[in-house]
Structure 1
Amino acid sequence: MVLLKVKFTFQKRVHLAQTLWMLCWLSVLTGILTFALGIYLKCELKRQSEVMDNTDIHLVPNTLIVVGLLSMLLNFIGVKISSDSLDLAKFPRWKGYVEPYLVFSFLFTFLMLFASLLSYLMRGNLDASLKIGLRNGIRFYKDTDTPGRCYQKRTIDHIQMEFQCCGNNNYKDWFDVQWISNRYLDFNNKEVRDRIKSNVDGRYLIDGVPFSCCNPNSPRPCIQRQITNNSAHFNYEFQTEELNLWMTGCREALLSYYTGMMATIGTSVLLCYVTQLGVLTGLRYLSIATEAVVGQENPECDSEGYLLEKGPLETLYVTAKALKAKFNFNQVQTEPAPTETAVTEDNKTEK
């Protein structure tokens, strides 16, 4: 049973070929854009790799890069097929290759769909990665002399200033860690010694935050030490001084930034997926309709195109069998066994 049969005149075939030619070039450009977006997202994730705990989130940019490269290659071939369909002397050279190309391109659309959905589904992994990474970054903030952690302070300060955030969840996260190195503490100072002794782990904990948490929109000089002590500052109430520090946690700020970027990329890839399905459908009709007039006395006669010659399941089975026969190069060719007649003649000859 032929599925979705359509009759094509010569003009319709020409218009279809021209439209597909433009759509294929457009898809090549979108492939370049997808590749560029994948590279950009990967660079952005690498830029903040010090505050990310795992590499699973790199699956998104890696998939986008592969999708972009394959899209450019497949649609460039589509440009050649749609262009050669207007020249019946060139089109026969595609015989035997169009069907495998369409099958591979159809499978490729599932990869595009996967890349689009992946951009939306990685929020949970990204959240968990940022939660652990930022927690470790704040904990190692003071270790500027430790190999491998020398730039942790600079990274955290840049993130807090760039994304206008403070701490992991909020500014109070800094109260639970010693973020001032011992080399900058005066152990002759009684207050310092008492504060260290009062802590079970011997850490110097204060109700203060780094300078990068300060909000420049505050009308007063930033208060970053003794934040919860109202009596330590004139005309100060820490519960109402919201402009003094950034109130948003860096995990929330980074998560919002990256999920927004991934959602935009996912939507773009989804539109490319829809366009690619349209290109494949058009190329299928064009190839069938053009093959029908190859070798005809009147190449401008009408022809018919269809989406599937048989039912979906039967077409899938026949296509898989044909592809297996075409690409099974390692199959050993066995010689047929001699027939009974041939054996009898051989015996007579020997006698």
Structure 2
Amino acid sequence: MALMKVKFDLKKRVKLSQVLWLMYWFAVMAGVLVFVMGLFLKIELRKRSELMDNNESHFVPNLLIGVGLLACGINAFGGKICYDSLDSTKFSKWKDVMKPFLICCLFFNVLLFLSALLCFMMRIPLQFTLAEGLKNGMKFYKDSDLPGRCYMKRTLDLMQMEFKCCGNNNYKDWFEIQWVSNRYLDFSSKEVKDRVSSNVDGKYLMDGVPFSCCNPSSPRPCIQHQMSNNSAHYSYDHYTEDLNVWKRGCREALVSYYGGLMNTTGALVLLVTALEVAVMVGMQYVNTSLSTLVNPEDPESESEGWILEKTVKETFTDIMAKMKAMGKGGQVEEGAEGEQGVATVS
């Protein structure tokens, strides 16, 4: 028994083809939108690629770009078939193509759904790659005169000002690294000598942060040096006073930003998937309704359309039986080749 069988006359078939043609072109525009979102996300990730520990984060944007291009091509082709289905004589040339096309649409819809899931799951690996990338980037902050690292200071400063964040997890991460280059330190000064000699690695560490960590909305002038020294500043207590630097870490800020982009993109891809499933079902109805005309020579005759020729259970059983038969056929061929080889040797 066919699944969701519907009876069609000429008027219903024409209306279905027209609506489906319009939906296909909406799907083409949706494919363009997915492509643009993937390209935008790739550009945004490329802006801060120096702060990423690896290039795996570009897999999802690349996938979205490819899926968007595929959606444009598949839906444009489907729209052409729908346009030709208005004339049964023109549609006859597509009959042999319909089954492979619908199978391709099915696999494409699965790919779209997986792409949407990857968009929602990207937040997890992004946290790890940003944690390591930001940690390494902060170490190179002082290397503004070294080739390959000279833009790291600018990148980190612009990022902290744009996302209103400071450090990796928080502003105290700057206390654990030397972020001032040795060329700007006076090693004849006792303070500098004491700080360098007191550190095992010989680094100049201090309880201060770069200027880009300062919150311009704070009414007090920015305290970015000797932040844990209450006596260095008038009427100041670093334990209780609301510091005038950004408290949020940059990893949290970036993950929140990119996570929001990916959630929006994932929701869009899910909507596109629903649209693609709808046009695939509609195309199946068009195909079956034109293939089952009572009188093929009379386009005005009635016909029947369905989603599946059998029920879901029967269809699944048939597929499994065919797969088992293919497996047994392969084993028989291997056995025959082995016997032939033995006969040749003997």
What TM-score do the two structures reach when normalised by structure 1?
A: 0.88
Distance 2:117 2:54 in 1: 20
Distance 1:166 1:304 in 2: 66
Distance 1:91 1:295 in 2: 15
Query: Quick check: 1:53 aligned with 2:53?
Result: yes
CA-CA distance at 1:62 after TM superposition: 1.0
Q: Which runs of 5+ in 1 are unaligned?
A: 322-351
Which residue pairs with 1:41 in the alignment?
A: 41
Deviations 1:27-58 (A, max 9, x none): 00000000010011011111111111011111
Which residue pairs with 1:169 in the alignment?
A: 169
**Partner-residue secondary structure (3-state), 2:192:** helix
Distance 2:120 2:308 in 1: 33
Which residue pairs with 1:117 in the alignment?
A: 117
**2:164 maps to amino acid:** Q
In structure 2, which of residues 316, 324, 330 is the aligned counterpart of residue 313 of structure 1?
A: 316
Bigger drift between 143-152 and 292-301 goes to 292-301
Which residue pairs with 2:342 in the alignment?
A: none
Distance 2:101 2:323 in 1: 13
Specify which structure has the higher proportion of helix.
2
Asked if structure 2 preserves the Cα contact closer than 8 Å seen for 1:9 and 1:303, the reply is yes
Q: Which runs of 5+ in 2 are unaligned?
A: 325-346
Which residue pairs with 1:277 in the alignment?
A: 277
Deviations 1:174-231 (A, max 9, x none): 0000000000000111111111111111110000000000000010111110111111
Identity of aligned residues (%): 54
**Partner-residue secondary structure (3-state), 2:7:** strand
**1:308 maps to amino acid:** L
CA RMSD of superposed structures (Å) = 1.7
Asked if structure 2 preserves the Cα contact closer than 8 Å seen for 1:285 and 1:305, the reply is yes
What TM-score do the two structures reach when normalised by structure 2?
A: 0.89
Which residue pairs with 1:296 in the alignment?
A: 296
**1:232 maps to amino acid:** A
Which residue pairs with 1:219 in the alignment?
A: 219
CA-CA distance at 1:59 after TM superposition: 1.3
Distance 2:228 2:250 in 1: 21
**Partner-residue secondary structure (3-state), 2:304:** strand
Deviations 1:76-111 (A, max 9, x none): 011111111111221111010011000011001111
CA-CA distance at 1:26 after TM superposition: 0.5
Distance 1:3 1:315 in 2: 15
Distance 1:122 1:52 in 2: 14
CA-CA distance at 1:63 after TM superposition: 0.9
Distance 1:319 1:300 in 2: 37
Asked if structure 2 preserves the Cα contact closer than 8 Å seen for 1:309 and 1:315, the reply is no
